[in-house]
Amino acid sequence: MAKGLTCQELVELITEYLEGTLSRRDRKRVAKHLSNCDGCTGYLEQMRVTIQAMGRLTEESLPEPMKAELLDAFQSWSAS
């Protein structure tokens, strides 16, 4: 029998879950955890909304100061 997931384990698997790349066993473990955990169910929905919103962003839709801030953040991250 598969061991149940903790909330932390679910968070670590959520991207793969949303992308549909989890094994059948792990998908079942995630589904079982979600059926009993309102906090993780809320987290999953927040991630879905975020992904949907991010898909609508274009470079042209961002104000110049925000573009510059994002580029600075990325350059700082990639330099480390």
Structural domain including 57 reads 7-79
**Residue 45 covered by a domain:** yes
Q: Which CA distances in Å does 5 have to 23, 30, 36, 56? A: 14, 7, 11, 32
d(CA 70, CA 17): 27
Q: How large a percentage of the chain has pLDDT more than 70?
A: 96
H-run or E-run covering 63: none
d(CA 22, CA 54): 23
d(CA 70, CA 26): 34
d(CA 36, CA 21): 22
The model scores a pTM over 0.85:
no
Number of domains the chain contains:
1
pLDDT at 67 over 90: no
Q: What does the pLDDT look like over 28-49, one tens digit per residue?
A: 999 999 999 999 999 999 999 9
**Residue 19 covered by a domain:** yes
